[in-house]
Structures are given as structure tokens and as C-alpha cells.
A and B are shown apart, each in its own frame.
Chain A
Amino acid sequence: MAREKELTMTTILPRKDVVIVGLGWTGSILAHELTDQGLDVLAIERGPWRDTATDFNIGYAQDELRYSVRRDLFLQPAVETMTMRNDPSQTALPMRDFGSFLPGNGVGGAGVHWNGHTWRFWDSDFQIKTNLTKRYGAARIADLQVEDWGVTGAEMEPYYDQFEYLAGISGKAGNIKGKLQEGGNPFEDPRSRDYPNPPMEMTYAPTLFADVGRSIGLHPFPTPSANMSRTYVNPLGITMGQCTYCGFCERFGCANYSKSSAQTTILPVLMKKANFEVRTDSEVLHVDLAPGGKSARGVTYVDTSGQEFFQPTDLVLLCAYGLHNARLMMLSGIGKIYDPATGEGTVGRNYCYQTNAGVQVFFDDKNFNPFIAAGALGQTIDDYNGDAFDHGGLDFVGGAGINCIPTNGRPIGTRPTLPGTPKWGSAWKKATVAGYKSTLGYSSQGSSYATRTNYLDLDPTYKDRFGRPLMRMTFDFPDNDIRMSNYLCDRMEDIAKAFGGKQYSVGRRKKGWDSVPYQSTHNTGGVIMGTDPKKSAVNSFLQSWDVPNVFVIGASAFPQNAGKNPTGTVGALAYRAADGIRNHYLRNPGAPLVQA
């Protein structure tokens, strides 16, 4: 009955070569690559069209209440949210508002309002299980479910390079073809050439942080940034403007065309191609499979009037953001949903996050002008990241980048005060004025390693606006990661002491992941890549093992997360998938690129 009703209500549309679900960072990259190949590409995007002049308008882009507090550009929980709990014994409840992470919405996706810290993961991150087992023995990672990615750092290098030049990253190489470079990150893997743009001009706080770090033997370097240090013309011929250090970056669109996003690096070219079309304000409900479930025949989507459409296609690319990719896989019945009790199933497996902690140093005599800032302007210390240091005598694996990247001085959200300050009244006000300009902060962005009981599946109770189950997130910080974070806090304290401020405070990470305060929109895993179809949902080209004409692109592919922001690697994986499709898949459409 229901099925019949569905059939009669759905409009069937003319076929397209490729359907891309979501036109954010990865969707735009894939659309550009595959239209270059001559394919007829349709992107279906849940949110509205967005462009700089209209939606990130310089007359009112700098509105903290609207964009940062009420989050005008983000996905609204009324449209889609998730339920959460910390462990499988609890009842998951819906995140009625997003807090800990903030998914994007609309053309450009989360790339519109990201910060732009643009990292490469290392070979030791990609071959993590092999590497850690060899270095410390299998027993050290027995509590974890870490997996190799099925690619090497050297294989990923050309794709990182492609993404960094597309996005005009400002930075300083630390290692070009094996030769260490003064002023860069000495711990990074070899790269083929330097960044396309020099580092940004440093503000006071990161400058001081770097001086202090060097004074105690650490190796600070400028954070690789997607905020332009100078005018840049990218390989597509699109010009970006110099960043003005406006301090309204993360959570905001950039009014200056200075922050890389689909809008500033791809869309001006992509939108002019006759073989590309985007349908906005249209939500894909699921991928439709052919009888037998071994190939996709199209997608079903609904527009804002409630009208349902069936869009036939030969190739489906899920580019809907990692978490949404995972849910779309579950709702489409592609692959088996992971069950932590048996360890079977791949979709929803190895959900990971980011293990952050922070330090504040308070001064009497300094003025940091916190409002002069950009999303990715700062200095990083990688001496304790990943496997850059010996964990032989330690009780954990993993690490964190230590970042001094003061992104803003917007006063609703950024008002550091000494510990113990009341939250209101005259004493509060006095402390707020004293702390506003003279506080320096930095933080550890830690790795997040998979365990058996951190995973995604479908919620048994709560439904979305179409009556379909919300995704359920079961997550807490693993003990390993808490030990890692504590070690990093000790190292950050070493730095704090060397600052010689009047006081410092350390905010340590504790068990019990809290979905309310913002932490980071770095949700990884759920549709992970790998070499074993029993443990991974996609192969190393991000092609589904179960339905080979579906590719699933995003941080959903990470088997675990490193102590770095994900998008450099997400962009590189998007280019790798495009390469696989253009140069291999299209020769033999519908066939797996890797034999299981």
C-alpha cells in the first residue's frame, strides 16, 4: 500500500550520468573533475544556493549574533539531527540543538564557514596499525580498533598537492622531497613542492607562542591556512583576495573572497559548464538499488514543496558530509549496519572525533588585540603529534598538534576571565574588561582512535520530519585518548610555565563526551576505507564494496582521526576518488576498482 502510494506520487526524471549528493567541498571537487571528463553531472543539494555577494555580504557579514550564536548558515536540527549517548547501556536522546559540532547546509557546505586549518596526515597515520604494532607490539593497541587506510603517505602526496593548490593554502613547507626546510614543520612527510602562498602575517599571540616554544626546544611553524596571505589565482583561473584579518571567519562566510571554499575556488567555473546542473533545496532521501541490491539505479529526493522525485543515474557519489553519508548508507540499505555486540557489519563502524584540551595564560601587561584574527592564523607545534615522538615508555598511542590560533575577539563568545570569576555582576564586568585583551590561549587538538563501542546506527525511537529514523551516535572518549590528552596537557603546562604570565589555567579533557559545548566539526568514520570488506565499507578509492557504482566521499572514510583537522585529507581523498573514476572506473563502469 505505502509502496504504491510512493510510486504514484514520485515524478520520474530524465537520466543523468552522475548524481552527486551534496554540493559542499567534496561534491564541488568531484563535479568539476567529472564534468571535465565530459560527463553529464547533476548535484542535488539540501540547502539553498549561496554566493559571496548575496549571502556573505560585507555590509552585515560581521554579525556575531546571527551567524555565530544563532548559526544562520548551519544545518538546522529541525531539518536533521542525531541522537546521542555516551555508551550502549544508555538511552540515546536527540540533540535538540547542535552544540559540540555544527554540520553545514547549502551550496558550499561546511566549507563556507570553516576556519581553514589545512593539514596533511602522515604515512604513520595511514599505516597506523602496521606501524604501531611494529613499534610497540600488538598488546599496546588491544583496546582499540585502529585500522590501516589502504593507502600510503606517498600515494596521497599528489592529491594533497592538488587540493592545496586549488585552495591556495598559505604556509611554509618543512620537508621538500626529503630535504628539511627552515621554519616549516620538521615532522611532516616529504612534499613535492612548497605551499602555493607564503604564511600569513603573524599577530602578537602566536608570535609570542612560537618564541616561547622555541626557547624550550620545540619546533613551532605557521599553521597551514586557507585564508589567503596574498592575492592568489588558482589553477582553475579563479582569483582570491588577500585576507583582511577581519576576525569573523569560523561560522561566517568570507565577504572578501579570501577564504577557500567551493564559492571561491570552484563554483565560478563549474557553474558555467553546460554539462553541470545543481538542484538546490532538495534533500536526497536514499539511494535506490536495482533488484538484487548490487547496483544503484538512482536516488530519490524531495524538494521544499514536499514533491518527491526519482532521479535515475549510472553513478552515485555521496558527498553529503561524513555523518550524513553514513546515515544515507543505512537508509539505502547499502552494506550491513555495524553491531558492536558481534563486531559484524561495516556501516557505522569506527566513528571517531577529536580529543581537544586547552590552556589560557593571563597577563597584566600585554595587549593581544584579539579581534585582529583569521580562522587559521597561528602557530602549531607538532613535536607531540601522531607518532612523531616515541611512545615506548608511555601508556597510550596517538598525540596532538598544539595550536595557538586565536580566531577572534567576538565578545558574545570570547570573554576569557581568570578562573573563579563570577558570571555576572560588577566583579564579572571588571574581570571581563581585564581579561579581554590580555589573555593568550592555545590548545591541543588530539587524535581520536576507534574502539568497539564508539559507533553510529539508526535510532529506535526518534524520527526525522519524514518519519525516518534519526542516526544514533554512541561515543565517549576512549581511555587511551584521555591518557594521551593528559600527557599533552602536561606538555602544554611546560609551555605555560615558560610564558611567565601572572597565572595560567589548564582545561583537561574528561570522560563523558558532552554534546553541548562546541568542540569541533571533525566527525570521522562510519563508512571507512580499507582493504578488507569485512572491516571497511569502501575501498581505497572510496568505492562501496557492496554497490560498486556508489562512491562515498568525506571524512566518513577515515578509519580513525589524527590530531589534525580533517579537510586537507578529505580534499585529497576526493581527488583520489576522482582519479579512480576518471582513469579506471569509466573504462569498465560498474566494476570494482579493487578486488576484495
Chain B
Amino acid sequence: MDRHNTVQLSRRLFLSSVAMFTVTATSASFARSLSGSLPWAPMSSDPPMQVVSGGWQFFTPQEAALVEAIVDRIVPADDLSMGGKEAGCAVYIDRQLTGAFGTSSRLYTQGPFLPGLPTQGYQGEANPAQRYRVGLASIDAFLKQRDGKTFAELQPADQDAFLAAMEAGKVDLPNGVKAPGFFGLLLQNTMEGFFADPVYGGNKDMVSWRMLGFPGARYDYRDHVSKHNQPYPRPPVSIEGSPEWLVKRS
């Protein structure tokens, strides 16, 4: 989501005719003095940029294969939905890791870094991008040593057993990687990708929303508020629109 900042930059620059201060290029938005009117400007909104799948921006091909295999066990293909890989969860994570999330640029990252209490939250020095790089390598190294295979080469049942052991803290991964913490990150990001708006690269064809019956980016339910206990009749829409709309147009 770094693009928001860049867009904001040019937007604020455009608007800064009223700004009274000099600006530097490092900040997301610039000091402004506003008085006498609402400083609203047309065409200055900041929509998300559609993630285009194809290629990897953060993962190496080897890492990508591992992540795709993992997201396909966290969200397995079954009669309820396609699997996490086909839904685009790995693409989603790849793109997130190149942005503000991956670098923790919005978070407090000053030291000293001390081990904390559980109530104090994550206290590690590594950001998500670094945790993926090291964490994925340590899974590969561990399995190579134990089974002589990559994760993707294991049988689904063995893959599940390995992930469950990570979750429960029953695997000692190399390089000091704490398995439950890294599994938690994988789980959180996979779910984000599966359930977020498809504009971010996952949730292909709004698959998770169709599965749940969540109508997505619709913004007006006034006609259904009092229809208690009755199913909502309309299919979901995404921020980018809906395939149903395209069908109608053609």
C-alpha cells in the first residue's frame, strides 16, 4: 500500500499552492494552512491500485513455491471453495511484503529490543519481509534435513502435520526462527488474502465472499434491514466491480 503515499505526495503537491511552508520529499503529506473555505479538490481521491498477478516481486521462485504450497493447506481446495493458491493468497502476500506492511514503515521500530511479556505484543527487531525471508529458508532447511524433501513434495497429510507442529511450537526451526510466531504470521496473511477485496491479489472471483454470502463492497442495505432472517438476494461486488456487470455489458 505504499502507493497511497506516493499518490498522496503528488496530490498534496498539487494542492499545496496554499501551503505556507517548504516541503521535503520524504513525508507523506505536507503542512498546509487552511482558512476561509473547505479545501476540497475534484479528482484528488486515492483509490487502491489493482494487483496484477504474474511474476513475483518479493519471493524468489523457490520461496513462492513454498508459500503457495502452505496457503493451499491453510485454505485447502474442497467442496466449499478453491484452495488458497488458486485464490491468489501467495500473490497477495508477495505484494504486501514489498509495501508498508513488509517493511513495518508505519510501526515503532526503535530499540532497545527486549524480550517482552505476551501482553506487550511483538517485540522482535525483524520486520515481516525479513521474517518471511528467514522463516521460509528455515522451513526448507529443516525439512531437507529431516525428510530430504521440500514442503511442496510432502504428502498433504504430512504437510498438515508439519504445519500443526509449527503452530503448536513442536518444531525447532534453525536460525532462531520461532515456529508458532512465524506460523501465526503466515496464517494471518493467508486469511487476509483470502478474505480481502480481490483488488489486493487474493480472493479470486470473490470466492470467499460467495462462500460466506458476504456481499462485499455494497454500501446500501436499507431495503433489507427489516427483512429479518431472510437471505440477502444479491451477489457480491468488489471495489473493482463485479463479473456480473461485465456479463451484462457484453
Contact = CB atoms under 8 A, between A and B. Distances in A.
Contacts of A176: none
Interface string A51-67: 10111011111111110
B213 interface: yes
A194 interface: no
B247 interface: no
B185 to A, nearest CB: 13
A592 to B, nearest CB: 32
B80 A429 contact: yes
B120 A78 contact: no
A412 B202 CA distance: 12
A244 B221 contact: yes
Contact of B119 (A247, A409, A430, A512): A512
A529 B205 CA distance: 55
Interface in A73-102: 76-78, 81, 84-86, 90-91, 93-97, 99
Given A267-B38, A281-B31, A411-B214, A60 B101 contact: no
B212 interface: yes
Range, interface on chain A? 35 or more
B24 interface: yes
Interface stretch (B54-62, B68-76, B142-150): B68-76
A410 to B, nearest CB: 8
Q: From A65, A425, A433, name the one whose CB has the most chain B CB atoms within 10 angstroms.
A: A65
B208 A411 contact: yes
Contact of B232 (A201, A306, A372): A372
Interface string A335-364: 000000000000000000000000000000
A216 interface: no
Given A305-B27, A369-B224, A424-B74, A59 B239 contact: yes
Contact of A63 (B22, B48, B228): B48
A580 B241 CA distance: 52
A204 B229 contact: yes
Contacts of B209: 411
B36 interface: yes
B34 A280 contact: yes
A277 interface: yes
Contacts of B160: 425
A432 B213 CA distance: 11
B100 to A, nearest CB: 7
Given A78-B109, A96-B108, A86 B119 contact: yes
B250 interface: no
The interface residues of chain A, by DSSP majority, are classed as loop
Contact of B213 (A94, A303, A436): A436
A202 to B, nearest CB: 8
Contact of A244 (B24, B47, B191, B219): B219
Interface in B105-124: 105-110, 112, 114, 116-123
A463 interface: yes
B37 A429 contact: no
A75 to B, nearest CB: 10
Q: From B120, B191, B192, name the one whose CB has the most chain A CB atoms within 10 angstroms.
A: B120
A577 B17 CA distance: 36
Interface string B35-57: 11111110011111000000000
A160 B118 CA distance: 40
Interface string B213-246: 1111111111011101111100000010000000
Contact of A411 (B76, B195, B228): B195
Contacts of A411: 195, 208-209, 212, 214
A60 B221 contact: no
Contact of B47 (A59, A242, A256): A59
Given A63-B197, A277-B35, A372 B221 contact: yes
A244 B21 contact: no
Contacts of B104: 96
Given A54-B44, A246-B219, A65 B196 contact: yes
Nearest to A412: B195
Nearest to B125: A96
B107 A77 contact: yes
A437 interface: yes
Contacts of B224: 369, 372
B132 interface: no
A91 B73 contact: no
Contacts of A81: 108
A78 B108 contact: yes
Contact of A70 (B1, B109, B120): B1
A70 B81 CA distance: 26
Nearest to A13: B20
Contacts of A463: 110
> 7 nearest interchain CB pairs?
A303-B31, A304-B27, A204-B228, A244-B220, A65-B196, A277-B35, A77-B108
22 contacts: A53-B40, A59-B45, A63-B199, A77-B108, A85-B120, A97-B108, A201-B222, A202-B225, A207-B228, A244-B221, A245-B220, A271-B35, A276-B35, A277-B34, A303-B21, A304-B24, A307-B21, A423-B187, A425-B76, A432-B212, A515-B119, A516-B118
Interface of B: 1, 4, 8, 12, 21-24, 27-41, 44-48, 73-76, 78, 80-81, 100-101, 104-110, 112, 114, 116-123, 160, 163, 167, 187, 190-192, 195-197, 199-200, 208-209, 211-222, 224-226, 228-232, 239
Given A512-B119, A515-B120, 11 more contacts: A59-B239, A65-B192, A78-B107, A95-B121, A96-B108, A244-B220, A245-B225, A271-B35, A412-B192, A426-B76, A433-B211
